[in-house]
Amino acid sequence: MDTTVMIEKHPQIKDLMAEQPIVWRNPDYGESAELPLTRADIFDAVVRWERFAPFLAVAFPETAAMNGVIESPLLKLQHMQPAWEAINHQSLAGQLYLKADSQLPISGSIKSRGGIYEVLKFAEQVAMTHTDLTYMDDYSVLATPKYHDLFAQYGVIVASTGNLALSVGIMAATFGFKTTVYMSHDARQWKKDKLRANGVTVEELNTDFSSVIPVARAAAAKDPHTHFVDDEGSRDLFLGYAVAGVRLQHQLKTQGIPLDDQHPVVVYLPAGVGGSPSGVAFGLKMIMGDAIYPVFCEPTHVPSVTLGMMTKLNEKIAVQDIGLDGLTAADGLAVSRPSRLAGKIMRTLLLGTATFEDNELYKYLTKLLDTEQVMVEPSAAAGFTAIAPITNQFPELAGKNVTHIVWATGGDMMPESERQLDYDLGRKLLLAVEGE
């Protein structure tokens, strides 16, 4: 692949190659496009979640208080906002919120949306094929030994750097599926330990995520009773994430947060393979329209979605093709090649992207804990890094009527030892800056 030709067409690739933080403005944003999925598909997913709520309330008692609904709070960051301003040496005129997917039940990350949803859909298909289950039944019956024995004849396989493995692995094992997770070298040890403790088989490969997926896909293809959860192109994963658009619309209303042309909302989503942020962004745009602006945030060493969308090569280009190493402390974002769906569906729906240096993540996660007593994993703090570059690049999104929502994608299941290490690094980096 000739990078000289690419740089001529897309000069920002030179900055990407130099690992410089950039803002990429999507030139196709707002254009009309034929999309492969619709609002009706989102509502089909909404109803499936509702059918499974009685099962989830029984199988996961922590969801019982919400009647089996898996959703995260939208938190106003009253104390974090001045801390953000101090780090960035600029004021933020609008309001700052955190969509705390780090607190989602069952697997403590955004992957609770897509990963769990895809497993629920597979379980429903198996049950309806082999039993007299109907759509109007109380799905809590799926938690009985009869169904556990049925599901034990089937398998689920997924490849993951971490959080998708937790959501798919915990959910599939709970149903009784033979569950195998293939993990790349970026995966944290505690995530592997958690999966094994839940009865999941973990296959570790000393390679990056993009190389793990074909191995997992081939393993699943050998058994007709095994379902492969494809993080690079699954329609069901995508729609599980898209339900967030329906849920956030309701939260904005109940919390009195206006959304219209005079009161835009900007949503900052960390992106790895791009499936979960694309699914969420698709849901936001389909449900709430023009006044909501999705932005993706990626590490300077792994700007895979930015590169794919900028060049329009999407999944046909990897960050190694422009000389990047694909390594980042944000393990959930360590994906060198983007999803087959991400760039294509996001082509007219994504405002743009912003890339960041890893150290910035630690500063924000430390300040978030200090000011709001909310702990997130490094990749989940990515949204904070994008606010300044995006508002500087898009002055119309810098006013006092703008609401900024940082999507915190994971962190609740982190062991205390990991949290302490991340926090201490952030504290050290902040002290270095404050001491200058």
Please report, rounded to a whole number, the percentage of residues in the chain having pLDDT higher than 70: 99
pLDDT of residue 408: 98
Nearest in space to 343 (alpha carbons), one of 310, 321, 319, 297: 310
* Structural domain spans, the chain: 3-37+66-107+238-434, 111-233
Nearest C-alpha neighbor of 187 from the set 220, 161, 155: 161
What average pLDDT score do residues 103-132 get? 96
Tens-place pLDDT, residues 219-253: 999 999 999 999 888 999 999 999 999 999 999 99
Residue 181 three-state SS: strand
Asked if 112 contacts 70 with a C-beta cutoff of 8 angstroms, the reply is yes
Radius of gyration (C-alpha) of the chain in whole angstroms: 21
CA distance 247 to 70: 10
What is the pLDDT at residue 232? 85
Q: What are 361-380's pLDDT values in tens digits?
A: 999 999 999 999 999 999 99
**Lowest-confidence range among 55-59, 185-189, 336-340, 401-405?**
185-189
In CATH, what number does 3-37+66-107+238-434 get? 3.40.50.1100
pLDDT of residue 97: 98
Please state, in angstroms and rounded to a whole number, the distance separating the CA atoms of residues 255 and 39: 24
Least-confidence region, from 106-115, 179-188, 288-297, 319-328: 179-188
Residue with tokens 């009527």: 401
Q: What is the pLDDT of residue 185?
A: 83
- Write the DSSP assignment of 360-391 as a string of letters: HHHHHHHHHHHHH-----GGGGHHHHHHHHHH
Other beta carbons within 10 Å of 253: 11
Number of H helices, E strands in the chain: 17, 11
State the pLDDT confidence band at 435, using cuts at 50, 70 and 90.
low
Task: Write down the mean pLDDT value for the chain.
Answer: 95
| 436: pLDDT strictly greater than 70 | no
Q: Are 95 and 257 in contact (CB under 8 A)?
A: yes
Confidence class of residue 1 from pLDDT cuts 50, 70 and 90? low
- CATH architecture type of domain 111-233: 3-Layer(aba) Sandwich (3.40)
Sign of CA dihedral 175, 180, 185, 191: positive
CA distances from 424 to 41, 187, 404, 418, 427 (A): 44, 21, 27, 10, 5
Digit-coded pLDDT (tens) for 71-94: 999 999 999 999 999 999 999 999
Q: What is the pTM of this model?
A: 0.96
253: its two tokens: 């209303």
Residue 37 has pLDDT above 70, yes or no: yes
Sheet holding 403-408, edge to edge: 23-25, 352-356, 292-299, 265-270, 403-408, 95-100, 74-76
Alpha-carbon span 125 to 123, nearest angstrom: 5
Tens digit of each residue's pLDDT (9 = 90 or more) over 302-347: 999 999 999 999 999 999 999 999 999 888 898 899 999 999 999 9
Rounded to an integer, what distance in angstroms lies between the CA atom of residue 347 and that of residue 362? 31
